[in-house]
Amino acid sequence: MKAGISLPTLSGVTKFLLVFLTGFLALYLTNLLVIGLSAPGGKYIDFVARHLNYIAWWRETLIRCTASCIEWLGWKPGFNHVHLWIPRVGGIAVSYSCLGYGVTSFLWSFVLAWPGKSWYARVFMILAGTILVQLLNIIRLTLITVYWQNSRISLPVSHHVLFDAVIYGVLLVILWRWTRKARNQIG
């Protein structure tokens, strides 16, 4: 028997929750930090804005992909680094909260924290899940840009809340199935 202090071991659930919550907070707060340091005003740091601002790339990619979908529907959209519009129809401002960084942080931290999966299975789920989240987001932004402006539809909740409910529901089903698969299967 070894002499000294014996540390208690963490149960599987406790370890999962600790890794999940730590990972989620790290990812989510990193996104907020990059937004805060790269947006003019406040604690702006030019180096972060020029070289580490993946948030601007994320938003521009989301806007360009949404504009492409709108073109496929037969409209001629216009866009810049923040706005997306259809002349004489309407448009939207794609704010930081439209990017889905919260749900993406949830997905990544859950997949990384879940025990018993190979790194290959984890990377596959992170990539597939991130693509799914962004595809659903593109569909949402397309529908809002094309139909919401001139619509008489009035929902009791914002489209952000509705999108979050749908995307978390879809993710919970996918993650439930993923956690039930054999240990090192990919999908």
What whole-number distance in Å separates Cα of residue 34 and Cα of residue 46?
Answer: 11
Strand partners, 86: 90
Main-chain dihedrals φ then ψ at residue 59, nearest 5 degrees: -65, -45
Q: Are 55 and 35 in contact (CB under 8 A)?
A: yes
Work out the end-to-end distance of the chain between its first and last CA atoms, rounded to an integer number of angstroms.
44
Is the separation of the CB atoms in 114 and 179 below 8 Å?
yes
Give the whole-angstrom CA distance, residue 72 versus residue 112. Answer: 36
Cα atoms in the Cβ-side hemisphere of radius 13 Å centred on 169: 7
pLDDT band at 4 (very low <50, low <70, confident <90, very high): low
pTM (two decimals)? 0.86
* pLDDT given for residue 28 in this prediction: 98
| Percent of the chain at pLDDT exceeding 90 | 73
Q: What are the tokens at 17?
A: 């929750």
pLDDT value of position 176 = 94
Q: Please, which pLDDT band fits residue 10 given cuts at 50, 70 and 90?
A: confident
At 149 the pLDDT is: 62
pLDDT digits (tens, 9 = 90+) for 145-171: 988 765 555 666 777 788 889 999 999
Residue 92 above 60 pLDDT?
Answer: yes
What pLDDT score does 65 carry?
Answer: 98
Q: Please determine, for residue 56, whether its predicted confidence score (pLDDT) is greater than 60.
A: yes
Q: Look at 29-33, 42-46, 100-104, 144-148 and tell me which has the smallest mean pLDDT.
A: 144-148
Question: Mean pLDDT across the stretch 70-87?
Answer: 96
The larger pLDDT score, comparing residue 10 to residue 70, is at 70
pLDDT band at 185 (very low <50, low <70, confident <90, very high): low
- Average pLDDT of span 50-64: 97
Instruction: State the average pLDDT for the chain.
Output: 89
**For 174, how many CA atoms within 13 A lie in the half-sphere containing its CB?**
19
Helices 159-180 + 119-143 axis angle, to 10: 160
Mean pLDDT across the stretch 31-38? 96
Whether 75 shows a pLDDT value over 90: the answer reads yes
Instruction: Sketch the domain layout of the chain as residue ranges.
Output: 12-180
